[in-house]
């Protein structure tokens, strides 16, 4: 069947489409139907089925006789080591960890926060939770103690699983002190913490609260897989919204399993037993779906890569990993390719490795610029496929589905909507616009299985953030257009979320931190264009009247504050002091206009601007940092 036939089949009978897809999953009790729409516009999938995610990702492959197949390869240039774990070993390790968690009281529905670097134990911790029906929430290691504390207070975990340390090029990240710092700030306290002690740093354990990963598993009864309802939350993953408080995206178990399995065959064209590598981090949605769950559900080998595209040790690392492990499909962010290209524009490092086993490179997380795509295509001689998705959806909304049919690539477009997604471009009033016209990208409800059924403990926020602006649709927060042939183009965010090195960050969260500085009266944070990371955050600080301290000191303190409060991942290094901020007459800061000025783009003078002269002041200030070249207001 062609892509258009598959899409039309879904559209004409979504229920039959998703019930067919559900047959690829082992159910303890099969669901009687796919969609549960009694509470529309809140939807659920496979709610009356009973299932276990760990069984589907691990045990069933062992039962089917594939216990000797490699499930996980840990390739860690930062520790100079590589090791492999078979499916049988993975089952035993996960059952033992789950047994130990259960012995200390963790049960179905309990939350467990996981704060770990790129080690197989991070996946084992996720799978052990899934085995028990406990709900994991993985927090990215590049977040600081405060961000971890916010998530602890929201998820209220019974247990936190952390590693003693992570390893970034040139420095050890002391996870345990960060965890201790977070627990000192959070109101909620877990019953216990499990610490995975790494060779590079052995952390101090708090008596009565902390247990060591290996010790606490000693002599426990391994746990079996606990069946859960299809709509039972598998995990919560916090992501940035417009305000400082992160949104806890819920993933329901049944739809998650069905949808991910569908994508492995139909989008990525993977066969069980082959090696799939998502070069991301378990702390992000890509890591949840394509480092941990999808490859394992499909019976593939997944790679846990602990390193960077460059500097560990050189820009040939990715190609070395592809060759060493015979990777068939590589998935990463465009920024990683840009980083490699910057250090090895001629592809000299690539020449050292035979990557002919690779079939495709998939990119997501941010806009894939045509130059990067063309460079990677020429270097690797494989299709380079841009695909578009969000933490909320958990997998691609639009892609080029290689497993169904390789559609012609249009560089600059993540191709076409996947079955399950009726993507529409709407004007401000919610009316569909014509092909080629820009608008807000919305998806007709219901969203397909595997996408978020809601936000953790925040139904009103869920409705407000996604459902209310365009009734009957899910609002993606992205703006763009669709062409006559149905190819989508993702152009910008409609909110204040920015994308830094494929990481989604809230400018609102950074503004909250900056205003906590005693000398800052008012501030704004925008995303400015960056050749490597796509965007970088830039802060504008208005200093309180009467403060005489050197501005340079205040800027330095603000940069440190964001790093300490949000974390190094915010990459907040640019800030400048200004007299005033451009605003509308009603007092709204004109962040969009500021960003255009900083990027040197032409912009339309906002009709509602309070005082246009501020824009010239702003431009002069930006020029001192090397930004705002060539900006001018369109006549």
Rg (CA), the chain: 24
Q: Does 441 bind ligand COA (CB under 6 A)?
A: no
Give the x-and-dash track for 492-531 against ligand COA (CB under 6 A): ---------xxx----------------------------
Per partner kind, with CB cut-offs from 5 to 8 A, the member of ligand COA, ligand AMP, none near residue 335 is ligand COA
Q: Where are the beta strands (DSSP E) in 324-380?
A: 327-332, 360-363
Considering only residues 142, 255, 394, 582, which one is a binding residue for ligand COA as defined by CB under 6 A? 142
Separation of alpha carbons 229 and 543, rounded Å: 54
Per partner kind, with CB cut-offs from 5 to 8 A, the member of ligand COA, ligand AMP, none near residue 386 is ligand AMP
Separation of alpha carbons 584 and 569, rounded Å: 31
Per partner kind, with CB cut-offs from 5 to 8 A, the member of ligand COA, ligand AMP, none near residue 414 is ligand AMP
Of 122, 161, 115, whose CA–CA distance to 142 is shortest? 115
Of 419, 482, 448, 422, whose CA–CA distance to 1 is shortest? 419
- Least distance to ligand COA, CB of residue 433, Å: 29
Separation of alpha carbons 371 and 287, rounded Å: 26
Other beta carbons within 10 angstroms of residue 161's beta carbon come to 29
**Beta carbon nearer to ligand COA, 167 or 404:** 167
- Least distance to ligand COA, CB of residue 570, Å: 8
- Least distance to ligand COA, CB of residue 289, Å: 10
Q: Of 91-99, 199-207, 231-239, 567-575, which segment contacts ligand COA by CB under 6 A?
A: 567-575
Separation of alpha carbons 391 and 505, rounded Å: 12
The set of residues, in sequence order, having a beta carbon less than 8 Å from that of 7 and lying 6+ positions away, is: 416, 417, 418, 419
Interactions with ligand COA, residue window 78-117 (CB under 6 A): 117
The set of residues, in sequence order, having a beta carbon less than 8 Å from that of 558 and lying 6+ positions away, is: 514, 517, 520, 539, 541, 575
Residues lying near ligand AMP in the complex (CB under 6 A): 239, 285, 364-368, 386-391, 414, 477-478, 490, 493, 499, 504
DSSP 568: G
**Beta carbon nearer to ligand AMP, 441 or 589:** 441
Per partner kind, with CB cut-offs from 5 to 8 A, the member of ligand COA, ligand AMP, none near residue 535 is none
Per partner kind, with CB cut-offs from 5 to 8 A, the member of ligand AMP, ligand COA, none near residue 450 is none
Query: Phi then psi for 193, rounded to 5 degrees?
Result: -125, 140
Q: Does 385 bind ligand COA (CB under 6 A)?
A: no
Per partner kind, with CB cut-offs from 5 to 8 A, the member of ligand COA, ligand AMP, none near residue 480 is none
- Least distance to ligand AMP, CB of residue 94, Å: 26
**Beta carbon nearer to ligand AMP, 136 or 288:** 288
Produce one character per residue of 115-126: b if its CB has 16 or more CB atoms within 10 Å, e if not.
bbbbbbbbbbbb
Alpha helices in 406-549, H assignment, sequence order: 459-462, 507-515
Q: Does 361 bind ligand COA (CB under 6 A)?
A: no
Q: At what angle do helices 370-380 and 334-343 cross, to 10 degrees?
A: 70
Separation of alpha carbons 455 and 560, rounded Å: 31
**Beta carbon nearer to ligand AMP, 86 or 393:** 393
Considering only residues 137, 231, 280, 494, which one is a binding residue for ligand COA as defined by CB under 6 A? 280
Site for ligand COA, rule CB under 6 A: 117, 141-142, 166, 168, 173, 280-281, 284, 286, 308-310, 332-333, 335-336, 339, 364-365, 501-503, 533, 568-569, 571
């Amino acid at each position: 069947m062609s892509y258009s036939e598959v899409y039309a089949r879904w559209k004409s009978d979504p229920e039959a489409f998703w019930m067919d897809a559900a047959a690829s999953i082992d159910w303890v009790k099969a669901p009687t139907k796919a969609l549960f729409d009694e509470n529309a516009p809140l939807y659920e999938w496979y709610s009356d089925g009973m299932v276990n995610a760990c069984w589907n990702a691990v045990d069933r492959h062992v039962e089917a006789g594939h216990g000797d197949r490699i499930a996980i390869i840990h390739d860690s240039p930062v520790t100079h080591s590589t090791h492999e774990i078979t499916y049988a070993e993975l089952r035993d390790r996960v059952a033992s960890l789950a047994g130990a968690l259960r012995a200390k009281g963790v049960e179905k529905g309990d939350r467990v926060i996981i704060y770990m670097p790129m080690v197989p134990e991070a996946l084992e911790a996720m799978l052990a939770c899934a085995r028990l029906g406990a709900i994991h929430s993985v927090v990215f290691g590049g977040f600081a103690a405060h961000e971890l504390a916010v998530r602890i207070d929201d998820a209220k975990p019974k247990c936190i699983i952390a590693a003693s340390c992570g390893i970034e090029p040139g420095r050890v990240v002391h996870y345990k002190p960060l965890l201790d710092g977070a627990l000192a700030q959070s109101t909620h306290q877990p019953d216990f913490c499990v610490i995975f002690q790494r060779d590079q740093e052995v952390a101090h354990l708090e008596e009565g609260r902390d247990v060591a990963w290996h010790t606490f598993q000693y002599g426990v009864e391994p746990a079996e897989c606990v069946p859960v309802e299809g709509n039972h939350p598998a995990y919560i993953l916090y992501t940035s919204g417009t305000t400082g408080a992160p949104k806890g995206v819920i993933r329901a178990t049944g739809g998650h399993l069905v949808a991910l399995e569908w994508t492995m065959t139909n989008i990525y064209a993977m066969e069980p037993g082959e090696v799939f590598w998502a070069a991301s981090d378990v702390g992000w949605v890509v890591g949840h779906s394509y480092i941990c769950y999808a490859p394992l559900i499909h019976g593939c080998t997944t790679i846990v890569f602990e390193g960077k595209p460059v500097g560990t040790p050189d820009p040939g690392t990715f190609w070395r990993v592809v060759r060493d492990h015979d990777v068939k499909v590589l998935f990463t962010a465009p920024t990683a390719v840009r980083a490699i290209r910057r250090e090895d524009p001629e592809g000299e490092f690539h020449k050292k490795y035979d990557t002919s086993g690779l079939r495709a490179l998939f990119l997501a997380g941010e806009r894939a610029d045509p130059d990067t795509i063309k460079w990677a295509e020429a270097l690797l001689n494989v299709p380079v496929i841009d695909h578009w998705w969000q933490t909320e959806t958990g997998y691609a909304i639009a892609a080029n589905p290689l497993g169904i049919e390789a559609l012609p690539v249009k560089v600059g477009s993540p191709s076409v909507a996947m079955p399950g997604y009726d993507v529409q471009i709407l004007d401000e009033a919610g009316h569909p616009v014509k092909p080629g016209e820009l608008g807000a990208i919305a998806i007709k409800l219901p969203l397909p299985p595997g996408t978020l059924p809601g936000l953790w403990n925040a139904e009103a926020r869920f409705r407000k953030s996604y459902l209310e602006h365009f009734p009957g649709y899910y609002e993606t927060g992205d703006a763009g257009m669709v062409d006559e042939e149905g190819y989508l183009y993702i152009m910008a965010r409609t909110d204040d979320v920015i994308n830094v090195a494929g990481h989604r960050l809230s400018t609102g969260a950074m503004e909250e931190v900056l205003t906590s500085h005693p000398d800052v009266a008012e501030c704004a944070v925008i995303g400015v264009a960056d050749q490597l990371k796509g965007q970088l955050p830039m802060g504008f600080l208005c200093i309180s009247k009467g403060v005489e301290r050197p501005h340079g000191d205040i800027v330095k303190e603000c940069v440190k504050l964001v790093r300490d409060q949000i974390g190094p991942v915010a990459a907040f290094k640019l800030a400048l002091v200004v007299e005033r901020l451009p605003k509308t007459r009603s007092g709204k800061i004109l962040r969009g206009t500021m960003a255009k000025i900083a990027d040197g783009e032409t912009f339309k003078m906002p009709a509602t601007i309070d005082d246009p002269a501020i824009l010239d002041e702003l431009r002069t200030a930006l020029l001192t940092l090397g930004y705002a070249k060539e900006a001018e207001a369109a006549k």
